[in-house]
Amino acid sequence: MRFVLGVMLSLLALPAVSQTDVLVSWSLVSVGGVAAEPGGRIAFSADGAVFGSTGCNRFQSSAVAAPGVLTFNSAAAATKMACLGPLAEQEEQVLGALVGTVAVAYDPVAERMMLIPQEGAAVLGFVRTE
């Protein structure tokens, strides 16, 4: 109970990000080269906030962008609803990939992005959404 309350309090302490602050939003299409379960997404705001969903739980973090890389400042804070089967595995892989510095590959023609972690975590594939 204390753990759940602690997670809830830490999520409440995260800064609010309004939809007008969002610069780019992406839908998760692949995790480790395999088609993603539905519902995964990520969005970036101008102030460095990163937020989204693993397909099961919502998460929020912050990152600094530089040419070709994103550096996540801390592990993502996430809600803790129970995820079963493939969604549980996807959540573990997504949150594991959004740590430290990750390479960013972007295809402007197809509006696709790949986040490629350094530490052997799963590569995440995204397609831009409106």
- Convert the pLDDT of each residue in 74-124 to its tens digit: 889 999 999 999 999 999 999 999 999 999 999 999 999 999 998 789 999
d(CA 78, CA 73): 15
d(CA 61, CA 130): 21
Q: What is the CATH number of the domain that holds 47?
A: 2.40.128.270
Q: Which range marks the domain in which residue 82 is found?
A: 2-129
| pLDDT tens digits along 42-75 | 999 999 999 999 999 999 999 999 999 999 998 8
CA atoms within 13 A on the CB side of 114: 15
3-state SS class at 113: strand
What is the per-residue pLDDT for 41? 98
- The total number of structural domains in the chain stands at 1
d(CA 45, CA 24): 7
Local confidence band at 22 (pLDDT 50, 70, 90 cut-offs): low
Number of H helices, E strands in the chain: 2, 10
Give the chain's largest Cα–Cα span: 48
Are the C-beta atoms of residues 90 and 96 closer than 8 Å to each other?
no
What is the per-residue pLDDT for 119? 77
What is the per-residue pLDDT for 72? 96
Burial of 67 (C-beta count, 10 Å sphere; 0-12/13-18/19+): exposed
pLDDT of 9 strictly over 70: no
Pick the more confident residue, 11 or 123: 123
The model's pTM is 0.81
Name beta bridge partners: 105: 114
* Average pLDDT, integer, range 29-34: 97
